[in-house]
Structure 1
């Protein structure tokens, strides 16, 4: 009887892959498009730039020679223009980041409650974000011209003589910062709006019942709950301020007197105007390290403040 049962029951072989291994393979298959894209479009170019930064490569002659850290030494120790460019980039970031965040938060607070036309105003303030950056810069370049510019003509009607905004070193940087803030403030406004709408109204109602004023509610309830969103916005805006290129290229070209020559535009000049790809790659790596360091500092400060 036992032999007959064994003849009827087929021999079951163990599966080639265990259930855990199959689940792992399926997971890797799902994430493989993103992972492959990360390797091709991020790590690949990053390692390429790291290698190019160690060479002296002229784009015209197509001759390259390995020079080690000579490009970094030239930038950090021998080239006085580099530190001028870094200073301009820091000034641009210091001027843009607080102004952008403060204006975005103010707009979000004003547009967070429903009222007639709120969707229209949200659309108006967000529209510059999706506008072509080059077209935006061209329009503002005409608006900020000397006596013939629209801005100065408006100031002249109230008896104020406006400067030549884009031709005076002290005013050119301020003009570029303000136009950039107006262009990108809508994005941060939307992020703050989403964070404000996610805050339960029960907190505000409870504080109001305790007799807290509107300013106290914002300082003690709303602002602390916006801290994670504020960190994200600060990091994104800081990185964007160091990457600015289109406004500088179209409005000032780095002038006047190198007053708006920021790091991203300086890298473009070295690589595609002077065709020194190796030196431009070294500058790009330095900018990468600067942005990474600033991001880590902001995250550490946020974590320290949350403790």
Structure 2
């Protein structure tokens, strides 16, 4: 009787284990096919000199990485552009999203309309968005410069001057994606108990003091998530650069994602492009780890 019960329990345990694996198998299979598999493949490609056009491939070890890091001056120019893009986009996006969230977190007449207006660019096609802004930011014929001319201001040729081109791409990207971070902040603000603010108000704290001393610290976890996601997204931007500037003028907006595209699909150097992609992966991962560690240090 005891042996039968043990066999029954063992069979039940195996059945539960099998059912558990069946439930998680879609996630595991998807992880292996769409993440781990391509990651291994791109590492293998990065160790080879593979010309996609001719089909010739040769194992070269770390030569592609050495070329990018120590021999190719264009690489560090591209990294600098990517850093400038990220340093311009991330703070502006986070600050504007927080401002909009604070303004639109509490109900008032028309709040849904305003939230919809600011969120609409997020679901708009990125290519269509970039095309529209490319026409709006043209020289004298662009809508932006025509508006400035009406106000008596001579606007620059936004997309044909290196410094202005980078600023233009950053601002249009911020407007495109700020609505998503705004929604995340609104959700976080609405989850904060009103008791904290009411108690601080009874103690004589001003609205700015309540925001700085109570609201901002409570939003810190959300701010970390938004900052990390926005930083990762800033290094992955391709469509805006491709459609608005093509990396120009004078390579002033040539960022890492677009440079990888050039090497792989314009120059057909798949091995070198794969090495660049691995380097970008390491850079983004390092930045993410640094941000998480800084957040933990502040929390401690």
Question: What is aligned with 2:299?
Answer: 306
Secondary structure at 1:162 match in 2? coil
Question: What is aligned with 1:167?
Answer: 160
Distance in structure 2 (CA, Å) of the matches to 1:22 and 1:299: 40
Distance in structure 1 (CA, Å) of the matches to 2:18 and 2:102: 47
- Indicate yes or no: 2:86 matched with 1:68: no
Among 48, 51, 60, the residue aligned to 2:44: 51
Distance in structure 1 (CA, Å) of the matches to 2:45 and 2:197: 55
Question: What is aligned with 2:93?
Answer: 100
Aligned-pair distance for 1:29? 1.4
Q: TM-score, normalised by structure 1?
A: 0.95
- Indicate yes or no: 2:177 matched with 1:154: no
Secondary structure at 2:117 match in 1? helix
- Indicate yes or no: 2:251 matched with 1:258: yes
Gap runs ≥5 in structure 2: none
Residue deviations 1:173-218, cap 9 Å, x none?
Answer: 0000000000000000000000000001111111111111000100
Residue deviations 1:134-179, cap 9 Å, x none?
Answer: 0000000000000010000000011110000000001000000000
Write out aligned runs for 1:229-248 (5 A).
229-248=222-241
Question: What is aligned with 1:226?
Answer: 219
- Indicate yes or no: 2:269 matched with 1:280: no
Q: TM-score, normalised by structure 2?
A: 0.97
Among 128, 138, 161, the residue aligned to 1:135: 128
- Indicate yes or no: 2:213 matched with 1:212: no
Aligned-pair distance for 1:22? 3.1
Q: Please tell me whether Structure 1 or Structure 2 has the larger radius of gyration of its CA atoms.
A: 1
Question: What is aligned with 1:178?
Answer: 171
Of the structure 1 ranges 275-284 and 200-209, higher mean CA displacement relative to structure 2 is found in: 200-209
Among 129, 138, 154, the residue aligned to 1:145: 138
Aligned-pair distance for 1:18? 4.5
Among 10, 13, 20, the residue aligned to 1:17: 10
Distance in structure 2 (CA, Å) of the matches to 1:186 and 1:205: 29
Q: Please give the root-mean-square deviation of Cα atoms over the aligned residues, in Å.
A: 1.2
Gap runs ≥5 in structure 1: 1-8
Paired residues, number? 298
Distance in structure 2 (CA, Å) of the matches to 1:17 and 1:286: 48
Aligned-pair distance for 1:16? 7.5
Secondary structure at 2:106 match in 1? coil
Residue deviations 1:219-241, cap 9 Å, x none?
Answer: 11100000000000000000000
Among 106, 109, 112, the residue aligned to 1:113: 106
Distance in structure 2 (CA, Å) of the matches to 1:302 and 1:16: 46
